[in-house]
Amino acid sequence: ATNVANLKANPFPEHLQSSYSSLQATLVANGQWCCQKSKTLKEKYIEYGCPSAATDKGCVGGTGNSCSMNLCLKVSGDAIATRTIAIDAPVQTASTGVLNALPSRPTGSDASKNVYYSVPCTDFSETDSNCHYNVKLSELLKVTSSFAASFPTPLSEANKINDYVFWRYNIDGGLWQTWDPHSDSPLAFKDASTSVIVEAWTSLGRVGDAFSFDVNLFVHSTLTCASYDSMWTLLGSTKVGNAYCAYPGSDFALVKLDMTVADVIPHPTATVTGSYTGVTCEIMLKEESTTATDTTAYQLLSDATSPTITKSFAVEMVHNPHTARKTAASVSCKFTRSPHSNTIMLADDTDTNSITCHHDFTVADCDAPELFSATPAGVCADKCAGNSAPGVNEACGGTVVRSDATVTSISTTDAQCCTDCDPDLVCVVVSQTSVKRCQMPSVTPLMLAATEEGEGFASSETLALLGASAMVAIVALVVVKRRAARPIVDEDAYYPLLE
């Protein structure tokens, strides 16, 4: 009983930092019990002689009639206890999910031998706890210990194996730490890979081999707006200076969006992307002026599932209440995702990752001023001036974004074209998009294509001719666009003539 009680001696913390070979040799040396026995055969006899008298009994043995026994028993940790240790099954399941979320599995990856976990961050951080994997060893490992089958366990000790087995662990070759599988605290794993070694010991040496495994962390891919600007195209427009021309003959720009979510949420090697939860875009229009204030933005689109989005819409020049010379547009899209779920023990911060991308552009009226035309289109434009219904070449259908001095708004329903013309205007598709504009029935698709080829600012010769004509008959000057005039504040050379 005394010897068994001595086996409860904890080798830690006295020898906690000792290497395996040193500590094993020290403890095994203590586990030796020796037993010595010896026997010598002797015979009792009475010596009789004649004529001598009888003597007392004696006991005499020969030198070859002796034997002795000296037996020592050495006991190690494996003779006292056994242990099992493995990555816990739920952890293996979660690790497999992380490996499947990677573009390709790392060479040699094995969820039964190592731990794989994703953190809801795009970079590793020593200081941000949300980017750490905080977990207990007892949550990662399943361990058991018991008395060895050959050990003569006293009945009173049968359920007290924890009094005989002691644990320690080591992280990345640092100092050894004691560990109680039944009462431990979380560890913070911060790096891409961390090595852990766990050992079980008794007072007489280590039980089994050391168990080692790696905790591998994976960050989320970095959200990027690098390709965002290229997703927006102004159809039928050329860029002059810092502005894009409005669609030829119209007071709006024809904008097309070709969005690929993977360009914003990429999936490079050794990262996870999480779950894409959608994109929401807002657009804001205002007059391009140093004194103009931002208007209230309006939601342009919202989509939670599509990996690609194609959308066309018209950006109408600001009416405040008259048509602005230049209109500034700002489109912002917020992309969101949920961090990859590890199924178990997700880090505390599970907020959705997001990024907001911005694209700004300016739309200007690049059409050259014209003298009043007696053509049907010119007459129609004159008749529809001031009419609330869309006139010649004005947007009448599809998604149309417009703004005044206060708020940006969007119309998605078809409007009735101005009915003051003869023949009546018709609402037709523009450039094979969903946007429509009012046109004279005589404007064929071929003529429209020719118009698109001829867009641009008026040449210097045209402006010179216009100036000369204005000097002679300025009162006869009428602009095709019939928007009402406004005070002259800008520096554009020909705008006083237009107004």
For residue range 434-493, what is the model confidence (pLDDT) as tens digits? 999 999 986 544 444 444 444 433 333 433 433 444 343 333 333 334 443 333 333 344
Q: Is the pLDDT of residue 279 over 80?
A: yes
Question: Under DSSP, is residue 344 helix (H, G, I), strand (E, B) or coil?
Answer: coil
Residue 439: in which H helix or E strand, if any?
Answer: strand 436-439
Question: Percent of the chain at pLDDT above 70?
Answer: 80
The pair of three-digit structure tokens given for residue 63, joined into one six-digit string: 């030198």
Say what the pLDDT of residue 17 is: 96
DSSP β-bridge partners for residue 216 = 116, 193
Could you give the strand order of the β-sheet that contains 308-316, starting from the edge strand earlier in sequence?
232-235, 252-260, 308-316, 400-403, 408-411
**pLDDT classification of 499: cutoffs 50, 70, 90:** very low
- Residues 273 and 385 sit within 8 Å (Cβ to Cβ): no
Contacts of 320 (CB under 8 A, 6+ apart): 287, 404, 405, 486
Query: Among candidates 381, 367, 366, which has minimal Cα distance to 440?
Result: 381
Using DSSP bridges, classify how beta strands 115-118 and 205-218 pair: parallel, antiparallel or unpaired. parallel
DSSP β-bridge partners for residue 67 = 39
Q: Is the pLDDT of residue 177 over 80?
A: yes
Q: Is the pLDDT of residue 231 over 90?
A: yes
Q: How many residues make up the chain in this entry?
A: 499
pLDDT: is 321 or 274 the higher one? 274
Give the tens place of pLDDT for each residue, 234-267.
999 888 888 999 999 899 999 999 999 999 999 9
Say what the pLDDT of residue 352 is: 57
pLDDT: is 108 or 1 the higher one? 108
Give the tens place of pLDDT for each residue, 70-102.
877 788 899 999 999 999 999 999 999 999 999
pLDDT: is 44 or 254 the higher one? 254
Give the integer Cα–Cα distance in Å for 218 and 434: 43
Give the integer Cα–Cα distance in Å for 351 and 120: 8
Query: Among candidates 255, 378, 231, which has minimal Cα distance to 312?
Result: 255
Tell me the pLDDT of the chain averaged across its residues.
83
Give the integer Cα–Cα distance in Å for 218 and 64: 79
The pair of three-digit structure tokens given for residue 116, joined into one six-digit string: 């794989």
Query: Among candidates 227, 254, 244, which has minimal Cα distance to 361?
Result: 244
**pLDDT classification of 343: cutoffs 50, 70, 90:** low
Could you give the strand order of the β-sheet that contains 177-179, starting from the edge strand earlier in sequence?
115-118, 205-218, 193-202, 166-171, 177-179
Within 261-370, strands assigned E span 275-287, 298-303, 308-316, 326-338, 353-364
The DSSP 8-state label assigned to residue 480 in this structure reads S
pLDDT: is 46 or 216 the higher one? 216
Say what the pLDDT of residue 60 is: 67
Per-domain residue ranges of the chain: 78-218, 222-499
What is the dotted CATH code of the domain comprising 78-218?
Answer: 2.60.40
Give the integer Cα–Cα distance in Å for 76 and 9: 14
Q: Is the pLDDT of residue 315 over 80?
A: yes
Question: Under DSSP, is residue 163 helix (H, G, I), strand (E, B) or coil?
Answer: helix
Compute CA distances 365 → 85, 182, 459, whole Å: 76, 76, 14
**pLDDT classification of 425: cutoffs 50, 70, 90:** very high
Average pLDDT of the residues in 200-207 = 96
Which amino acid, one-letter code, is at 220?
A: H
Using DSSP bridges, classify how beta strands 81-87 and 243-245 pair: parallel, antiparallel or unpaired. unpaired
Residue 44: in which H helix or E strand, if any?
Answer: strand 43-46
Q: Judging by beta carbons within 10 Å of its beta carbon (0-12, 13-18, 19+), is residue 86 exposed, middle or buried? A: middle
> Could you tell me the pTM of the whole model?
0.71
- For the chain, the C-alpha Rg in angstroms (whole number) is 45
DSSP 172-224: TT---EEE-TTS---EEE-SSEEEEEEEEEETTEEEEEEEEEEEEEEPBPPP-
**pLDDT classification of 290: cutoffs 50, 70, 90:** low
Residue with tokens 């391009």: 288
Q: Judging by beta carbons within 10 Å of its beta carbon (0-12, 13-18, 19+), is residue 133 exposed, middle or buried? A: buried
- Residues 320 and 288 sit within 8 Å (Cβ to Cβ): no
